[in-house]
Amino acid sequence: AQSVTQLDSQVPVFEEAPVELRCNYSSSVSVYLFWYVQYPNQGLQLLLKYLSGSTLVESINGFEAEFNKSQTSFHLRKPSVHISDTAEYFCAVSGGGYQKVTFGTGTKLQVIP
Amino acid sequence: GAGVSQSPRYKVAKRGQDVALRCDPISGHVSLFWYQQALGQGPEFLTYFQNEAQLDKSGLPSDRFFAERPEGSVSTLKIQRTQQEDSAVYLCASSYESDNSPLHFGNGTRLTVT
């Protein structure tokens, strides 16, 4: 069984400030980890993923996440947020023979001008 | 098409009615998933298809829920005798047959049962 915990349901942050969205997971097998983003009135889309290798992964729009096996975490960070980053962010975990992805409850990032 | 297409975008049903939700995955994608997302919650897994074979239906909440993908492309999620607790957004996602490939989601169907 696998599960994902996102403790923060909402995170308000001022524009150009740094942000961290927390994610902890549990799994009995090796995992793949993902962050998905849902912009207003749009479908979920992949932001970044950890499969293997380097524990630090980056997205094309400046987000990064670090896989920490000892702390079972995969926190999402951005050093300077923009208004366009306002969205809901979902952490997810997958493992096993096919990608049955388990999602967290989501964190709404609100960037304040 | 360019992405996963779901229809209808919105559906209002009276309690007890049957509904059918359609998903057109990305052409060539072998894997297809249905998720249910209740208000304020993350998506919850319902069922998984590999081509036309339904390999996992462990997430379907009751025998009122039925999904099919007869030709390995378009899929339909059917809910019989809808109940108020079925109100949610139903998401469809497709991907290549690989542990590494990302899920491509449609915009979902918002079902409201009155």
Determine the average pLDDT of the residues in A40-47.
Answer: 89
Percentage of chain A lying above the pLDDT 90 cut: 65
Amino acid at position A72, single letter: T
Percentage of chain B lying above the pLDDT 90 cut: 87
Strands (E), chain A: 2-5, 10-14, 19-21, 24-27, 32-38, 45-50, 56-58, 64-68, 73-78, 87-94, 102-103, 107-112
Q: How far apart are CA A43 and CA A38, in angstroms?
A: 6
Beta pairing class for B65-68 and B31-37: unpaired
Determine whether the interchain pair B56/A105 forms a contact, defined as Cβ–Cβ distance below 8 Å.
no
Determine the average pLDDT of the residues in B52-74.
Answer: 95
Tokens of B113: 């049962």
Vertex A5: Cα angle to A50 and B105 (nearest 5):
60
Residue A90 pairs in a beta bridge with A36
pLDDT for A97 equals 59
Beta pairing class for A45-50 and A102-103: unpaired
Minimal Cα distance from B3: which residue of A?
A: A43
Which residues in chain B touch residue A87, judged by CB atoms under 8 angstroms apart?
none
DSSP conformational letter for B86? G
Q: How far apart are CA B24 and CA A24, in angstroms?
A: 33
pLDDT for B99 equals 63
Least confident of A15-19, A34-38, A92-96: A92-96
pLDDT for A83 equals 96
Q: How far apart are CA A23 and CA A4, in angstroms?
A: 7
For chain A, positions 72-111, list CB contacts with chain B under 8 A.
Answer: 90, 94, 97-106
pLDDT for B96 equals 85
Minimal Cα distance from B58: which residue of A?
A: A100
Q: Is B108 left (phi over 0), alpha (psi -120 to 50) or beta?
A: left
Q: How far apart are CA A33 and CA A47, in angstroms?
A: 11
| Statement: residue A43 has pLDDT above 90 | no
| Statement: residue A69 has pLDDT above 80 | yes
| Statement: residue A101 has pLDDT above 60 | yes
Determine the average pLDDT of the residues in A53-75.
Answer: 90
pLDDT for A51 equals 82
State which H helix or E strand residue B78 sits in.
Answer: strand B75-79
| Statement: residue A96 has pLDDT above 70 | no
Q: What backbone phi and psi angles, to 5 degrees, belong to B13? A: -130, 145
